[in-house]
Structure 1
Amino acid sequence: MNNDLILTALPLDQLRQLIADTLKSELSQLLEQKPNDTKEELITRKEAAKLLGISLPTLLDFTKTGKITGYRIGTRVRYKRRELIESLKQIQAAKSQRRL
């Protein structure tokens, strides 16, 4: 970083625009660095039950027994879509093992 100090008179509007442009540039660089797949999609209980092909009481049972992880957000429970898909694969694998 350059330690030279330059003082200049700028109109307030130009200073605001310079700050805004600098912030936009820095924020866009930060956003480009983050991979997009880190954002988890949260879905409702009804959506989760429909995705898994189970009833709401069964979903509640799976959540209580730890087969599926639910996340409480305020008074609501949400599920991560990616985790549900992984749980579904495990549940199907367990069912097929029992049939053998």
Structure 2
Amino acid sequence: MHSNQNKFYQIVPETQTTDIISGLVKAITPLLSKTQERPTDDFEELFTVDETLKFLKCSKQALWNWRKNGILPSYRLGNRVYYKKSDIFAKLIKQE
């Protein structure tokens, strides 16, 4: 007679953890790739006056003159002045 052998498998918590993590990675990877494909124009970076001065390596007076004469557009939020990074690059490209 054949005896039925029952096989019991022991599930080790480390194995479960590895399976769960690999499943999460498979599920999250497509979502992350979609967010990385998003154009960066959605998030416009703003520079403060000090950051703009360091970036352009110019004097505060020159930056103020460019803002006053409309050469480099600025944006006010309360009593603070900001410059868009894209505006700075656009102006630099026009100058060439």
| TM bin (shorter chain) | 0.5 to 0.7
What is the Cα deviation at residue 89 of structure 1?
A: 2.4
Aligned match of 1:89: 93
Aligned match of 2:70: 66
Aligned match of 1:7: none
What is the Cα deviation at residue 36 of structure 1?
A: 4.0
Aligned match of 1:54: 58
Runs of 4+ in 1 over 6 A off after TM superposition: none
CA-to-aligned-CA distance 1:6-44 (integer Å, 9 cap, x gap):
xxxxxxxxxxxxxxxxxxxxxx9xxx5x64431100010
Question: Does residue 1:42 correspond to 2:69, yes or no?
Answer: no
Structure with higher helix content: 1
* % identical equivalent positions: 34
Residue ranges of structure 1 left out of the alignment (5+ in a row): 1-27, 94-100
Aligned match of 2:84: 80
Please report the TM-score for the alignment, with normalisation by the length of structure 2.
0.56
Q: Secondary structure at the match of 2:71?
A: coil
Structure-1 separation of matches of 2:40 and 2:94: 26
Q: Secondary structure at the match of 2:73?
A: coil
Residue ranges of structure 2 left out of the alignment (5+ in a row): 1-30
Q: Is the 8 A contact 1:43 1:78 kept in 2?
A: yes
How large is the Cα RMSD of the aligned pairs? 2.2
The 3 A distance-change label for structure 1 pair 86 and 75 is same
- The structure having more radius of gyration, on CA atoms, is 2
